[in-house]
Structure 1
Amino acid sequence: MLGLEYFSFRALWSPWLLFLTIALLIGYFYLIGPWRLKHFPNERRATPWQQLMAVSGIVLLYIAQGGPMNLLGHLMFTFHMANMSISYLIAPPLIILGIPAYVWRFTFGKPFWKRFSRSMNPIFTLVLFNVLFSFYHIPAAHDYIMTNYLLHEFYYFVLLVTAMMMWWQITCPVPEWSRLNGLRKMAYVFASGVLLTPACALIIFAGEPMYAVYNDPNVWAKAMNYCVAGNTQQLLSQFQGPAFFNLMAPAEDQQLGGILMKLVQEIMYGCILAYIFSQWNRQENAESDGDLRGTGPAGTV
């Protein structure tokens, strides 16, 4: 299907990333299980929803960066944008919300991290991620990063870190570390959507294919070094380039990728806005109930 049968297990499943994912899952359940009982016995255990979010986030990140979808992202631009959406718009908030507050406090409560947290200004993290993400989708930058392995690895890691920093402002699970109230979080999500729109619009409304990785067979073969071991120039003689695998014309593939990215962004941001509103409403109701209990004849001190 989609030509995956032509590639090896290593190319399809990235074994070292698979082992890392399994290690992260084991480490997560150790932290919320035996480690919590030993060091934080009075802390509440992670809820089933938290566990589901954390596991989903870690597994989705592996699927996008190490599973078959990663290889498909080098064959079709649509899958590439699906991977970007999963890696930086879906997985980060799931992971942040899935890890209990006591783990975050233990990990980042040290004096060094407190000094580092000064750089976690909400405006800075918002602009930083969106600028890096938009810059990556400038055709010349995209093709250069995709064809240089070490830079590719480094840039994707930086994107993940900055995405986590941005999402932290919205989904911070440690109440005393949160810098934004409910209304400002909603404005933050809206601003992020606005900043991400130009990159999506550039891709959707381009009249012709922009990325050589998906159009030039020689550039594509070089980019495939990221996924396939050995001399990828042999792929040219066997498949004559990415067109062999693509189900659509390059321009249509590119437009669909941009549309998919924008749709995922809108859906994800809509879900996050609903989450923020529910949390804000719950907090307001709790404060109102507290005020009511503290007033009137029964509450007079």
Structure 2
Amino acid sequence: MLGLNVFSFADLWSPLFLAAVLVAVSGYFMLVGPLADRFGMAAPAAPRQRIFFVTGMATLYLAQGGPVSLMGHLMFSLHMLSMALSYYVAVPLIMLSIPAELWRTLLRVNPFRRLAFLAHPVTAALLFNGLFSLYHIPAVHDYVMLHFGVHRLYYAVLFAASALMWWTLINPLPERDRWNGLAKVGFIFLNMVLLTPACGLIIFADKPLYATYSDPDAWARAMGYCVSGDTAALLRSFGGPAFFEVMSPRVDQQVGGIGMKFIQEVIFASMLASVFYHWYKKENGQDGDDKLPESSGVKAAN
């Protein structure tokens, strides 16, 4: 499919990134296991928190270092899948895997306290969705895709902005969770609305917007950051992104916009159901019936 057999194992699976992910997973298991008492944790992380972390890191690897990352340079729809997996799946899973006591330790030593205002729900929603939308303005997107250092920095900032946005919904610390159920419902709808213009621009455009998916020279330059070898030879051999297409660039673009919006809607709909569930239980005096121990840190939205 997509002619991926022309790429090397290293191109498809990014061994260095995989090694970094495996080191992070090993470090996490040490931190929430044998070293848990050093961070004031009464008990090691709950089993499902460990599953959350492994799943989140595996998702992040597939999206940013595995085949989905490479295929995201071949088709815009797969680029959007990579973005959705990174910021709407991997980030909340990783955050849910961190025990409450560890969160408190991290916040105590946080060197970015002066930027705490960025975690305000409205600010965080505007920041993440603004950065995401800015990135998908054609001129900005092509510039970022063609400048490797800027590309990595922008993705790192998006990752941090996504974490700030998710904090309002999956905050495990009661002393820092000041938003009630109605406010969280409004926050979810705010995020859903803020992403709509960018997706609408992509879905309803009457022509391909991004040179890195339609212009052979721009595509070859962008590919140079994720594959080994001479990209000029890659261009001579395949003539550009059209060789790997399974649909026209415009349709691929539309599928990407629709897919991104659909994934966001599904994930936020599940969060909406969780907010309503916990809000209902709290209003009926049942909020504490099925809470996890504080050390688990897995408390969704109240």
Query: TM-score scaled by structure 2?
Result: 0.90
Q: Percent identity?
A: 48
Map Cα deviations across residues 178-203 of structure 1 (whole Å, 9 max, x no partner): 23222111110100000000011111
What is the Cα deviation at residue 46 of structure 1? 2.5
Matches within 5 A, 1:1-301: 1-40=1-40, 42=42, 44-110=43-109, 112-286=111-285
- Aligned-partner SS, 2:236: helix
The AA in structure 2 aligned to 1:179 is R
What is the Cα deviation at residue 111 of structure 1? 6.9
> For structure 1, which segment, 103-112 or 70-79, has the greater mean C-alpha deviation from structure 2 after superposition?
103-112
What is the Cα deviation at residue 83 of structure 1? 0.3
Native 8 Å contact 2:119 2:167 kept in 1: no
The aligned residue for residue 299 of structure 2 is none
Counterpart CA distance in 1 for 2:214 and 2:115 is 42
Q: 1:187 to 1:254 in 2, by over 3 A?
A: same
Counterpart CA distance in 1 for 2:117 and 2:85 is 28
Q: 1:146 to 1:105 in 2, by over 3 A?
A: same
- Aligned-partner SS, 1:226: coil
Q: 1:285 to 1:220 in 2, by over 3 A?
A: same
Q: 1:118 to 1:254 in 2, by over 3 A?
A: closer
What is the Cα deviation at residue 222 of structure 1? 0.3
Counterpart CA distance in 2 for 1:73 and 1:289 is 44
- Aligned-partner SS, 2:227: coil
Map Cα deviations across residues 117-147 of structure 1 (whole Å, 9 max, x no partner): 2442221111111111001001111111101
Native 8 Å contact 1:143 1:212 kept in 2: yes
The AA in structure 2 aligned to 1:155 is Y
Greater relative CO, 1 or 2 (CA 8 Å, sep 6+): 2
Counterpart CA distance in 2 for 1:103 and 1:289 is 22
Map Cα deviations across residues 187-242 of structure 1 (whole Å, 9 max, x no partner): 10100000000011111111111111110000000000121123211111110001
Kindly report the root-mean-square deviation, in angstroms, between the aligned alpha carbons of the 2 structures: 1.8
The AA in structure 2 aligned to 1:106 is T
Aligned length in residues: 289
What is the Cα deviation at residue 289 of structure 1? 8.8
What is the Cα deviation at residue 269 of structure 1? 0.5
What is the Cα deviation at residue 41 of structure 1? 5.2
The aligned residue for residue 296 of structure 1 is none
Counterpart CA distance in 2 for 1:78 and 1:65 is 15
Counterpart CA distance in 2 for 1:289 and 1:39 is 25
Native 8 Å contact 2:39 2:101 kept in 1: no
Q: 1:262 to 1:41 in 2, by over 3 A?
A: closer
Native 8 Å contact 1:170 1:180 kept in 2: no
Native 8 Å contact 1:78 1:254 kept in 2: yes
- Aligned-partner SS, 2:205: coil
User: Which ranges in structure 1 are unaligned for 5 or more consecutive residues?
Assistant: 291-301
What is the Cα deviation at residue 284 of structure 1? 3.3
Map Cα deviations across residues 10-33 of structure 1 (whole Å, 9 max, x no partner): 111111110111111111111221
Counterpart CA distance in 1 for 2:199 and 2:32 is 39
Native 8 Å contact 2:181 2:275 kept in 1: yes
Counterpart CA distance in 2 for 1:17 and 1:289 is 41
Counterpart CA distance in 2 for 1:102 and 1:87 is 25
The AA in structure 2 aligned to 1:226 is Y
What is the Cα deviation at residue 287 of structure 1? 6.2
The AA in structure 1 aligned to 2:150 is L
Native 8 Å contact 2:128 2:162 kept in 1: yes
The AA in structure 2 aligned to 1:32 is V
Counterpart CA distance in 1 for 2:60 and 2:20 is 11
Q: 1:252 to 1:171 in 2, by over 3 A?
A: same
